Amino acid sequence: MAGKFAGGSFIENLPKIYGMYTGGFLVFVLLMAILEQMGVGADTIGILFVAFTIVIYAGIGVLSRTMAVDAYYVAGRQVPAVFNGMATAADWMSGASFVAMAGGIYFGGHGYLAFVVGWTGGYILVASLMAPYLRKFGCYTVPDFIGTRYGGNLPRFLGVVVLAVASFTYVTAQINATGTIAARALQIPFEVGVWFGLLGILLCSMLGGMRAVTWTQVAQYIVLIIAYLVPVFWMSNKQGFGLIPQFVYGDAVQRITELETLHGLGTLDAVEGAKGGLRALSVPFATAGDSAMASWKFVTLVACMMMGTASLPHILMRYFTTPSVRAARQSVAWSLMFIFLLYFTAPALATFTKLQILDPNLATGIIGKPIESVLALEWIQKWAAVDFLQIIDANSDGILQLNEFFMRGDIVVLATPEIAGLPYVISGLVAAGGMAAAMSTADGLLLAIANALSHDLYYKIIDPEAETKKRLLVARVLLLGIGAAGAFVASLKLTSILGAVAWAFDFACSGLFFPIVLGIWWKRANRQGAIAGMAGGFLVGTWYLYMVRWGGMDPWIGIDHLRFGMIGMPVSLVLMVVVSLMTPEPDAETQAMVDEIRVPSGETVIDSSH
């Protein structure tokens, strides 16, 4: 069976195969709905949803197992553009996008749209500056490009270090998301849930590498986009706002503004501080009165997310799997379309969910209701049991005020169907979608780290004579070790999902953005400049993060710990340009190679299998 995943017949039949898969998944959802009507408990349905989807993904991973280097690292370079676009979208639609994004908008308002604008805009940079040229170069990993373009082991090693730190920070956020879902679905502590999530992640990626992850991510995208869209359309029509929620939630926003004023939103700050951050991660935006600073913070966060997107190794790796340079370009366009479907919907989801909670005229509204009756609600009890929600009667009047209701932003999407009173089968569907989003990204991230360490560190630097079997064994052992470390760090709850993701993007752009871009577009960039740019940008950015977050230093010109890439990137650029100009230019062969990768046709420049 494994062989069919490499043959032409499988590639040609992809539309039929995934069409059958989508139909089968919808039949499963219908079956769960029937079981709910027959009286099967909500907890059982939640467990069946999560278990079913993990088994399906793991099955694809097992069927895609391989011991071929080309298949393990780049899926044999056979992935058609549209399916690579779906896999990339799933790789990109992480726990942050699916689980935390709408929660951020729910609590933080328009300021959180900086994430959406930055992440989406980053793909413009990927399409125009990077993806086709990296595919033409022909490498397996980002450090492989760095090491080959600039020459020598030190640039390659620095590339591995930046990749490992950025990707590990990012993967902890994904394991955090899987732990959140597992904790609710299985009614277990979050600290145990992260290990259940990790098990599913490893089953998908360990045996088949990039080939298994690719076909799994296509399946995961189908699940996550269905799971994200269904509750939004359901709530929009249930509340009478119209058939297409993305275009009609303006009236709901106006109603929320009125309700927030009525419930005294301005009294939240002191109570929120006292709660130690149980509310969503606070992305520091200035108040409306300080519009210049608010705009500056918005723009700088957008810049960090854009350039971080264009520097993330697990995303850039996806374009090494396409059959041609042209397919890499097309793949970026498909990725943007598939990503747009979710991002365009996130504000509507946040809006309708917030209205469900705030509006006393709706049956689901809880603000202004007796606390005793609110505490009796099943969804309140379930989420409170796993420490993601808390209600405190601060003024002892027995009525729930807005500043007495505390909920982590990370659960807004997951809890939305229960909040809106939708059938529990929709909650199970959303849990399955959130699991798919987090697992797909975690698969890509763990693979990026393990591949970089096994291919670029072990094979290219430590043991160039290693046999294929040994190289892939090293990659799989590293997957286990890195995954376990990520689950442990996630269990510590050092920051929220969005906070960890922002740090990952800042690490990536501080150390990798300019070495990659200038490596493609500036022939004069040399080894010494790349070393200075990567090391300087990464170290200065990391120092700034530590000082602002834990060292007690006041942020410079409003650049807080979520935006430290704005410190690391300029240092990286200046050092790279100055040092390159002060040292000898690259040899003629390297400059000719740089010219060749910008030609949109022809064979790849490098054969990384040797």
Domains in the chain and their CATH numbers? 2-289+310-355+418-491 (1.20.1730.10)
Which comes out higher in pLDDT, residue 7 or 477? 477
Q: Which of 30-44, 259-273, 321-335 has the highest mean pLDDT?
A: 30-44
Report strand pairing: 389-391 vs 405-407. antiparallel
| pLDDT at position 124 over 60 | yes
Mean of the pLDDT values across residues 398-426?
82
Torsion of CA 310, 313, 318, 322, to 10 degrees: 80
Neighbouring-strand partners of residue 406: 390
Residue 27, phi then psi, degrees to nearest 5: -65, -40
Looking at residue 85, its pLDDT comes to 84
Which comes out higher in pLDDT, residue 281 or 76? 76
Give the separation between CA 242 and CA 535, rounded to whole angstroms: 53
| pLDDT at position 389 over 70 | yes
Give the N- to C-terminal CA distance of the chain in Å, as an integer: 28
| Residues shown for the chain | 610
Under 8 Å between Cβ of 489 and 544: no
**Arithmetic mean of pLDDT over the chain:** 79
Copy the structure tokens of residue 121. 């805009």
What are the distances in angstroms from CA 313 to CA 77, 87, 583? 17, 15, 28
For residue 389, the SS3 value is strand
Condensed to tens digits (0 to 9), the pLDDT of residues 261-318 reads 776 654 333 333 323 333 333 333 344 445 676 788 889 999 999 999 888 877 777 6
Which comes out higher in pLDDT, residue 525 or 208? 525
Copy the structure tokens of residue 147. 């090491």
Could you tell me the pTM of the whole model? 0.78
Nearest Cα to 74, choosing from 217, 212, 220, 211? 211
Condensed to tens digits (0 to 9), the pLDDT of residues 92-120 reads 777 667 776 776 777 666 677 788 888 88
| pLDDT at position 197 over 80 | no
Looking at residue 483, its pLDDT comes to 82
| Percentage of the chain lying above the pLDDT 70 cut | 83
Amino acid sitting at position 586: P
SS3 content of the chain, % helix, strand, coil (to 5): 75, 0, 25
Condensed to tens digits (0 to 9), the pLDDT of residues 535-549 reads 999 999 999 999 999
What are the distances in angstroms from CA 599 to CA 134, 136, 141, 564, 592? 12, 8, 21, 35, 11
Condensed to tens digits (0 to 9), the pLDDT of residues 40-51 reads 887 788 788 878
| pLDDT at position 207 over 60 | no
Could you say which DSSP state residue 96 is in? I
Mean of the pLDDT values across residues 251-264?
78
Lowest mean pLDDT among 211-215, 390-394, 492-496, 599-603: 599-603
Confidence band for 519, pLDDT divided at 50, 70 and 90? very high
Give the separation between CA 419 and CA 414, rounded to whole angstroms: 10
Phi-psi region of 570 (alpha: psi -120 to 50; beta: other; left: phi over 0): alpha
Q: Which of 4-13, 249-258, 326-335, 567-576 has the highest mean pLDDT?
A: 567-576
Which comes out higher in pLDDT, residue 401 or 222? 222
For residue 12, the SS3 value is helix
Q: Which of 137-141, 145-149, 397-401, 477-481 has the highest mean pLDDT?
A: 145-149
| pLDDT at position 518 over 90 | yes
Which DSSP string corresponds to 214-274? HHHHHHHHHHHHHHHHHHHHHHHHHTTS-S-HHHHTHHHHHHHHHHHHHTTGGGHHHHHHH
| pLDDT at position 593 over 70 | yes
Per the listing, tokens 């470390």 go with 485
| pLDDT at position 509 over 80 | yes
Which DSSP string corresponds to 529-562? HHHHHHHHHHHHHHHHHHHHHTS-PPPBTTB-GG
Give the separation between CA 143 and CA 475, rounded to whole angstroms: 15
Amino acid sitting at position 397: D
Mean of the pLDDT values across residues 520-534?
95
Looking at residue 108, its pLDDT comes to 66
CB atoms within 10 A of CB 258: 11
Nearest Cα to 431, choosing from 120, 182, 153, 141? 182
